[in-house]
Amino acid sequence: MSRSVRYASSPLLASKTPVWRSKFIVALIALGFMGLGARAAYVQVFGNAFFQRQGAVRFARTLELPANRGKILDRNGLILASSVPATSIWAIPEDVDQDAPAVRAKLEELATLLDMPLAQLHRKLADEDKTFVWIKRQLDWHVGQRIAALGIRGIYQREEYKRQYPEGEAAAHVVGFTNVEDLGQEGVELAFNDLLAGRAGSRRVIKDRLGRVVEGLGEGVPPVDGRDMQLSIDSKVQFFAYQKLRDQVAVHKARAGSVVVLDAHTGELLALANYPSYLPGQRQHLSGEQLRNRALTDVFEPGSTMKPFTIGLALETGRVRPETPIDTNPGRITITGSTISDTHNHGLLTVEGVIQKSSNVGTTKIAMQLPAREMWETFSAAGFGQKPQLRFPGVVSGRLRPYKSWRPVEQATMAYGYGLSASLLQMARSYTVFANGGRVIPATLLKTDVAAVGVPVFSERTADQVRRMLQLAAGPGGTGQKAQTLGYSVGGKSGTARKQEGRNYVSGKYRAWFVGMAPIDAPRIIVAVMIDEPGGGQFYGGAVAAPVFSEVVQQTLRMLGVAPDMAVKPHIVADAEPEPL
């Protein structure tokens, strides 16, 4: 039988305690509750804003809702650049258990899907103090789905957009490219980035420590997609021009080349091609040589392609007529101690013959009749020394010194294209003078159906006269016979100049080009071709650049549906006379 405890007999319980002690304990408990109440009031009322901010800093996030970047289209609506859904892989390194056998096997598979060495993947995950690290950006969507199926704890994805460029290297210098943040870096992507990019939206959410969204906060701001841009470029003309340029650079073992195709009535750029080029979607090992848009950024002395402007001014002012005789004997002329020569003595030429034979001596004798100021004003009006009003990165103005500083010999050399510089785009644009009744028109990269308003340089009569001379220069007895094409009449001028590095000309290095138009009676297109440092023993513009002009003209006019204006085959002499340097 258990003994019962008599608590009343316990000395401890039977002892009397002071009343103040129990009151003191009750008071402490009351103070505790009062402290908790005060703290609750501070957190909920007086200090609420502070704690809201701290909570937001730790758990609230603003998610960016990316806008879909606008498409870049050619003049026929074909896609030159567009955005497709992509995925970017990121990780919380401390959550990835790399030592677990099952995870190790999955990481090997992940590295394969990422096309990344396993060691590189481990390096990205090595710092366990990190709570965020990018693994790889802008993967194809289907690759992202396969990675998600692996179910690796600590590996997450973010939906993004990735640019695709169907025309590849043929249109690379026109279209350009964007970076991983979808911002334009080159070409049209950069020039019209503000219109293409649109405006990103946003959404406020609460995330847990694993980056998972657990609650939305308020209404989000929807993204505004970018605008589509329709260019004047014809993708078929662009591809063909690039292909022929690339082949010619390879045949002549040249350093580089460029082609510009311009609509003679609207100023629209139908093609702008450069070689070497690059693939916009594969830019890991790009060089400056590949990135340079040479048609816009490279300037050179135009050489003989300037002679039509000098002759045009003399015709415009009535100092000469097309049939005016010019004595070029003995094939050279001395101006203030400097000798200017032709390839050989052409004897007595008409003004038309000066252009046809590309005579430096004949051009100099005509230029010496002209005031320097009038030459400078004519060259300036044609766009030389002026930056083309083309919204495109890298456009240069070239160089045309003020006429007051010209010495007589400098006026003479500028008359046939030395002592000033221009880009290939400027040369193509300047020749719109002879295709538009004496008016030079602005070049544009955007599609338009409206004929451009030009700036008058010559009268329509003078423009027609010079155009006939350009036809002679590209015909039998001219320096640009290889520019002729089957079915279409052409006119144009070849040019060749020694390359200048610093203040000196480099022996054995040349630039060759040809600028012209077709059909000659009613020009529809202007084509300019430049080949940089051609080799293999040929370097004259009539031999190296004119054949590219011929093929591009013929194919482009067919694509544009222009009816042939000639029923005869072109008459080409194998050893056409070269233009003088």
C-alpha separations of 478 from 272, 361, 374, 548, 579 in Å: 27, 16, 28, 17, 9
C-alpha separations of 356 from 111, 349, 472, 564 in Å: 66, 10, 5, 24
Q: How many CB atoms lie within 10 A of CB 1?
A: 3
Read off the amino acid at residue 329. Answer: N
Whether 551 and 565 have beta carbons less than 8 Å apart is answered as: no
C-alpha separations of 464 from 315, 425, 427, 438 in Å: 11, 22, 18, 8
Q: What is the DSSP letter of 362?
A: H
> Long-range contacts of range 250-256, CB-CB < 8 Å, 24 or more positions apart?
251/536, 252/531, 252/534, 252/535, 252/536, 252/538, 252/544, 253/534, 253/535, 253/536, 254/531, 254/532, 254/533, 254/534, 254/535, 254/544, 255/532, 255/533, 256/289, 256/294, 256/531, 256/532, 256/533
In the structure encoding, which two tokens stand for residue 567, read together?
A: 């029923």
Dihedral pair phi/psi, residue 170, rounded to 5°: -65, -35
Helix (H, G, I), strand (E, B) or coil at 346: coil
CA distance 154 to 93: 7
Whether 238 and 170 have beta carbons less than 8 Å apart is answered as: yes
Q: Per residue, what are the HEC states of 466-502?
A: HHHHHHHHCCCCCCCHHHCECCECCEEEEEEEEEEEC
Helix (H) or strand (E) holding 313: helix 307-316
Please list, in sequence order, all residues whose beta carbon lies within 8 angstroms of the beta carbon of residue 383, skipping any fewer than 6 positions away. Answer: 426, 429, 430, 440
Largest Cα–Cα separation, the chain: 152
In the structure encoding, which two tokens stand for residue 350, read together?
A: 């008409």
Active site includes 341? Answer: no
Please list, in sequence order, all residues whose beta carbon lies within 8 angstroms of the beta carbon of residue 500, skipping any fewer than 6 positions away. Answer: 300, 301, 506
Which pairing describes strands 201-207 and 213-221: parallel, antiparallel, or unpaired?
A: antiparallel
In 3D space, the residue among 72, 158, 144 whose CA is nearest the CA of residue 110 turns out to be: 144
CA distance 275 to 424: 14
Whether 236 and 167 have beta carbons less than 8 Å apart is answered as: no
Choosing from 304, 423, 489, 494, which is the catalytic residue?
A: 304
- Could you list the active site residues? 304
